[in-house]
Amino acid sequence: MTVTIIGGGVAGLAAACTLTECGVKVVLHEAAKAAGGRCRSYFDPMLGCRIDNGNHLLLSGNYAVMAYLARVGTLDSLTGPVRPVFPFVDVASGTHWKLRMNRGRLPWWVFSKARRVPGTRTSDYLALLKLRKAEIDDLVAPLVGGTGALYRNLLEPLAIAALNTPPDVASAAPLRAVIAETIERGGAHSIPRFPKVGLSESFIDPAIDWLMARGADVRLGSRVTDLTPGAKTILAVPAWVAAELMPSLRVPNEHQAILNLHFKCRIDPGEAGFWGLVGGVAEWVFAKGDILSVTVSAANKYAEIENDVLAAKVWADLATAFGLGAEIPAHRVVREKRATFAATPAQLRLRPPTRTADPNIMLAGDWTDTGLPATIEGAIRSGNAAAMAMLTGY
Ligand SMILES: Cc1cc2nc3c(=O)[nH]c(=O)nc-3n(C[C@H](O)[C@H](O)[C@H](O)COP(=O)(O)OP(=O)(O)OC[C@H]3O[C@@H](n4cnc5c(N)ncnc54)[C@H](O)[C@@H]3O)c2cc1C
């Protein structure tokens, strides 16, 4: 059997690796000259170094991610704190604190003032239990309260990072899935991880080398415009491309942007190498060598704001948080306009399953019905599922 895979993002690569490992001949088409899609690194001539299209934060409980990296030999390419610790800075007050979970399943960290979010009581964390029962129509902010120190300083940033959708319109169901696999299983499953060097170095280039070494036919710069009738095909393209290639498909069609601002600036990475910021525009900051890199999610609201204005706002947050000078260093603003589909109840209902009406065509991608938000973990699981469906017919 030969399987054609269209799309060389992490979903397509995961499908290709699973099929190749099972002895299936794979032909993978990637439209761009470099694979990776929304998870890629490239050289930025202005900054004079390689950058990622956006910071990607993973958790140790992302077991499909870890298995994928182990398979292609790059598990040790991730870094991060050795403990489940999340440093935060409130740019409105200048306060720094660290959320320190314990490793085990019993969350005794919520009983410790020194470990939990400042200004919160143990009983506030019962809000997390409400998420356990979340259904697709439950919206995050109304479900968990939507006010107070725990919401502002932990639940809201967590929800925005996981769902890339404003919490007042985002469904709590995919957040429930993330929490069930990480925080609820304990700190050992919630340790932050991110690539030491870059996304392509961890997820993309080694996978392509691994595939080619095993005889897979990887075709970069190969945009597929039509499906070949009868050919066994995994469509691992973005949702809107899948709908063009297969017009009968119903797919999520509303998206949220993510902004990344990369500043040429070196600071001490501290214990974790990153910080969550609240009370400003900047949301997550990663200190990677000479680059200080900032993520702003659910960013459609900034669509009309000029890059220079945004850079000034974000730099002001960094200057306050880390005591940096007022002068903005060399920087690059990267706007991923369709970073992920909007995780609203209506959009979640448009996520299709792996199998299509055509038994020869399977779907993969973070927008398929994985139960998870649009993340690398979801994308890899979707690729594995499409490969297994192709292998087994189920
Ligand atoms: C800025 C940003 C930050 C993010 N942060 C996080 C994070 O912190 N944690 C996390 O887990 N996830 C994060 N994500 C989400 C994560 O990147 C995606 O879920 C994942 O990369 C999606 O992979 P995919 O393979 O499903 O899709 P894609 O990466 O979109 O891959 C699809 C591929 O198909 C190719 N293609 C399109 N049309 C054709 C065609 N006609 N023929 C051939 N090839 C075609 C594209 O070029 C692309 O390479 C972030 C995303 C962005 C954009």
Q: What is the CATH number of the domain that holds 367?
A: 3.50.50.60
- Which helix (H) or strand (E) element contains residue 312? helix 307-322
Query: Does 11 fall in a domain?
Result: yes
Whole-number Å distance, alpha carbon 338 to ligand 1 midpoint, is 10
Long-range contacts of 118-125 (CB under 8 A, 24+ apart): 118/149, 118/153, 119/149, 119/153, 120/148, 120/149, 120/150, 120/153, 120/154, 124/148, 124/149, 124/150, 125/150
The reply to whether ligand 1 has any atom less than 6 angstroms from the CB of 379 is yes
Q: What is the mean pLDDT of the chain?
A: 97
Residue 99 included in any domain: no
Q: Which atom of ligand 1 is nearest to the CA of 54?
A: 1
Residue 367 alpha carbon, nearest atom of ligand 1 = 26
Percent of the chain with pLDDT over 70: 100
Ligand 1 binding pocket mutation candidate from 240, 375, 382 (most atoms within 8 A of CB): 375
Residue 128, domain member (yes or no): no
Q: What is the pLDDT of residue 23?
A: 96
Q: How far apart are the first and last CA of the chain?
A: 16
Give the per-residue pLDDT at 21.
Answer: 97
Apex 316 CA angle, 315 and 322, nearest 5: 85
When pLDDT is averaged across residues 141-160 and rounded to a whole number, the result is 95
Cα–Cα distance, 196 to 335 (Å, whole number): 23
Ligand 1 atom nearest the C-alpha of 62 is 11
pLDDT tens-digit profile of 16-35?
999 999 999 999 999 999 99
Atom of ligand 1 nearest to the CA of 14: 25
Q: Report whether pLDDT(368) > 80.
A: yes
Q: Spell 101-129 as b/e; 16+ CB within 10 A means b.
A: bbeeeebebbeeeebbbeebeeebbebbe
d(CA 224, CA 116): 50
Nearest atom of ligand 1 to the alpha carbon of 29: 43
Interval between CA 38 and ligand 1 midpoint (Å): 3
Q: Is 3 helix (H, G, I), strand (E, B) or coil?
A: strand
Q: How many domains is the chain built from?
A: 1
Look-up: residue for tokens 């939990």? 116
Domain assignment of residue 31, yes or no: yes
Which pLDDT score, from 0 to 100, does residue 289 have?
93
Q: Which residues partner with 295 through β-bridges? A: 260, 284
Other C-beta atoms closer than 10 Å to the C-beta of 187 total: 23
Q: Cα dist. 319→71, 85, 289, 290 in Å?
A: 41, 23, 18, 16
Lookup: tokens for 33:
């000259």
> Is the pLDDT reported for residue 394 higher than 80?
no
Q: Is the CB of 30 under 6 A from ligand 1?
A: yes
Q: Is residue 335 part of a domain?
A: no
Give 227's DSSP letter: P
Judge whether 239 lies within some domain: yes
Indicate if ligand 1 lies below 6 Å from the C-beta of 15. Answer: no
Within-domain flag for 201: yes
Q: How remote is the CA of residue 37 from the centroid of ligand 1, in Å?
A: 4
pLDDT at residue 393, as a whole number: 80
pLDDT value of position 231: 96
Ligand 1 near 9 CB (within 6 A) = yes
Look at residue 51 and tell me if it is in a domain.
Answer: no
The domain containing residue 239 runs over which residues? 2-44+194-253+344-392
